[in-house]
Amino acid sequence: MVDEQPVRIIAAEAGEDSVWAVLRGVPDPEIPVLSVVDLGIVRYVRMPGPQVGITPTYSGCPATEVIRASIRSALAQSGYPNARIEEVLSPPWSAAWISAEGRRKLLEYGIAPPNPSSPDEPESCPHCGGRKIEMISQFGSTPCKALFRCLSCREPFDYFKCH
Amino acid sequence: MPARASTDYLLRLADTSLILGQRLAEWIGHAPALEEDLGLANVSLDLIGQARLLYQYAGEVEGKGRGEDDLAFLRRPDEYRNVSLVEQPNGDFGCTVVRQFLFDAWQLEMYQGLEASSDARLAEIAAKALKEVRYHLRYSSGWLVRLGDGTQESHRRVQGPLESLWKYTTELFSPDDLDLEMQAAGVGPDLEVLEAAWSRQVDDVLADATLVRPADVPYGWFGKRGEHTEHLGHLLAEMQVLQRTYPGASW
């Protein structure tokens, strides 16, 4: 950082929009290709403060605390040292909260996005687009993922569970 | 003033989730396959997450400054209020699947009831957890059918635990004064209505799994009143050892 002071003043005056812009730069710790905004876990931004409402994807998701800390530090660096981060449980998060942009990023990253029309399995293989797939494991490396395999290209892949 | 769950009622729910979460965590590194290791650990994580939300709320309702760690790590076995089913040892994978299935089917009905609670905070926690519970039930009922309707050996190894664990289900549907008080306040569901729905669900899956439903027993254990089997003390000894040895230790 060359000179933080001017940034701080501009950001503090710009308000809500600039807070959202900061949040769009905060990655999800487990799927860093997604920002916390793409993932749909930011429920509101209120000024002054700002107050930021976030909701957990899963009750026990260990990433929640890392996310709070990353949001707090990103906001502090952008001139919001006194941000208040509040946990919101209702309405509960569901895969429908992932933005269209988020779904596109997941697919590019090799994770099949949630499939609301048939929640138990992804629509297609994120690698080759094949539709013949099978489940390897109902649970995966993080609470939000399950493991599948494509029967065309034979590659395993993660499916972002449709909760 | 809107109705609110009592501390004891919240502790029953929180302790039940925590103790089963702790039990399932014992499988980490020991499950029969990597996928099952992940599965059981993920279910455990969800349950511990639910417990945290409930403990935080219980601490607030109690108003004595106790937080989630105090409630989890600094209470004695007789102060725990979990149902007895969840403290039973894991046994083999078949036994764990049976316990999980009986529990998941109960938790689904229970939390559907709590989702309509007159206590808004409790209703929120239940609504959040329900998405997870449905997924757990798919996992445990899927395995119960595969094992029950698998080989003679796998069938035997789930029918046996079903018979030995069945007696712990009596408690789930036997309301005591606190259950009735919470039900009257609109905070908790009617356990008799719950039992009918649970029974239907259990019968369906047992039929698919070619398993025989054991007879009900006229007696029961009441962990929810603090009357535990001998297994809880051992579990807590392991879970609490760090806080007991180094009080106030934190990461």
Cα of B129 to nearest chain A Cα, Å: 7
Q: How many residues does chain A have?
A: 163
Check whether A11 has a pLDDT greater than 60. no
What gap in Å lies between CA B93 and CA B213, rounded to an integer? 20
- Tell me, rounded to whole angstroms, the distance of Cα B13 from its chain centroid: 8
Q: What is the pTM of this model?
A: 0.90
A–B: how many Cβ contacts below 8 A? Answer: 70
Query: Which residues lie below 8 Å from residue B201, measured CB to CB, with a gap of 6+?
Result: B105, B108, B109
**What ipTM did this prediction achieve?**
0.80
Of A20-34, A45-59, B105-119, the range with the highest mean pLDDT is: B105-119
Interface test with B, best of A30, A54, A59, A142 (most B CBs within 10 A): A59
Cα of A80 to nearest chain B Cα, Å: 27
Q: How many residues does chain B have?
A: 251
Cα of A18 to nearest chain B Cα, Å: 30
Closest CA to B94 of B200, B165, B21: B165
Cβ of B66: how many Cβ atoms within 10 Å?
A: 16
What gap in Å lies between CA B20 and CA B28, rounded to an integer? 14
pLDDT of residue B2: 66
Provide φ and ψ at A35, rounded to 5°.
-90, 165
Kindly report, residue by residue over A129-162, the tens digit of the pLDDT.
999 999 999 998 888 899 999 999 999 999 998 7
Closest CA to B103 of B54, B174, B166: B166
Is the pLDDT higher at B6 or at A8? B6
Check whether A65 has a pLDDT greater than 70. yes
End-to-end CA distance of chain A: 41
Check whether A3 has a pLDDT greater than 50. no
Give, for all 251 residues of chain B, the pLDDT tens digit.
568 999 999 999 999 999 999 999 999 999 999 999 999 999 999 999 999 999 999 999 999 999 999 999 999 999 999 999 999 999 999 999 999 999 999 999 999 999 999 999 999 999 999 999 999 999 999 999 999 999 999 999 999 999 999 999 999 999 999 999 999 999 999 999 999 999 999 999 999 999 999 999 887 889 999 999 999 999 999 999 999 999 888 87
B contact residues 129-148, partner A, Cβ 8 Å cutoff: 129, 131-132, 135, 138-139, 142
Percent of chain A topping pLDDT 70: 91
B contact residues 33-52, partner A, Cβ 8 Å cutoff: 34-35, 38-39, 41-43, 45-50, 52
Check whether A7 has a pLDDT greater than 50. no
Q: Which two tokens stand for residue B107?
A: 């938790």
HSE-CB for A4 with a 13 A CA cutoff: 9
pLDDT of residue A2: 39
